[in-house]
Amino acid sequence: MKKQSQKEYIVIGLGRFGSTIAVQLEANGCKVLAIDRNEQRVRLIADYVTLAMCLDVANDETLGELGGRNFDGAVISIGHSLDASVLATIWAKEQGIGQVIAKAYDEKQGKILTKIGADKIVYPEKEIGVQLANDLAFNNMFDTIELSSEYSIGEIITPTDWIGKDLRQLKLREKYGVNAIAVKRGGTLLVNPPADQPTKKDDVFMLLGTNSTLKKIASANAPRKN
Nearest to 14 by CA among 102, 79, 105: 79
Cβ burial of 86 (10 Å; 0-12, 13-18, 19+) is buried
pTM of the model: 0.62
Distance of CA 66 to the CA centre of its chain: 28
Name the CATH superfamily, with its identifier, for domain 127-220. Regulator of K+ conductance, C-terminal domain (3.30.70.1450)
Please check whether residue 14 is in contact with residue 36, taking contact to mean a CB–CB distance below 8 angstroms.
Answer: yes
What are the φ and ψ backbone dihedral angles of 55, each rounded to 5 degrees? Answer: -140, 145
What is the CATH topology of the domain spanning 8-122? Answer: Rossmann fold (3.40.50)
Q: How far is CA 148 from CA 131, 137, 152, 208, 210, in A?
A: 12, 17, 7, 12, 9
Instruction: State residue 161 phi and psi, 5-degree precision.
Output: -80, 0
Instruction: In whole angstroms, give the CA distance from residue 221 to residue 205.
Output: 13
Same fold for the pair 8-122 and 127-220:
no
Tens digits of residue pLDDT in 8-52: 999 999 998 999 999 999 999 999 999 999 999 999 999 999 999
Domain boundaries, the chain: 8-122, 127-220
Other C-beta atoms closer than 10 Å to the C-beta of 36 total 27
Per-residue pLDDT tens over the stretch 43-93: 999 999 999 999 888 776 667 677 656 789 999 998 667 888 998 999 999
